Amino acid sequence: MNYKGHEVRDRDCRKRPCLSLGKYEHRGATGGSGSRSTGRSTKCCLTRAYRGCPPEACQPAKVELNA
């Protein structure tokens, strides 16, 4: 699913507080304990790319109505 040109999980992501749009830089392993840039990046939700979507934090914002 795309939102503003970024890959997101679903159409409700724009309402979630965990949404963080940006460019994720793909990294590759080196022979040692480090990593290197592969030269590839993806426009996506950075929360999803780095940590995965947290089920408790990725709920749509609740709207309370005052009666």
The DSSP-derived string for 12-42 is: GGGG-TT--EEEEEEEEE-SSS-EEEEEEEE
Residue 35, domain member (yes or no): yes
Residue 11, domain member (yes or no): yes
Residue type, 21: L
Total domains in the fold of the chain: 1
Structure confidence at residue 23 (pLDDT): 95
Residue 60, domain member (yes or no): no
Tokens of 29: 């392993």
What stretch of H or E contains 40?
strand 35-45
Question: Which range of residues forms the domain containing residue 45?
Answer: 2-51
- pLDDT, one tens digit per residue, over 13-59 is 898 999 999 999 988 888 777 777 778 899 999 999 999 988 765 56
Question: How far is it, in rounded angstroms, from Cα 67 to Cα 56?
Answer: 27
Residue 16, domain member (yes or no): yes
Residue 67, domain member (yes or no): no
Tokens of 46: 């950075």
* pLDDT greater than 80 at residue 64: no
Residue 15, domain member (yes or no): yes
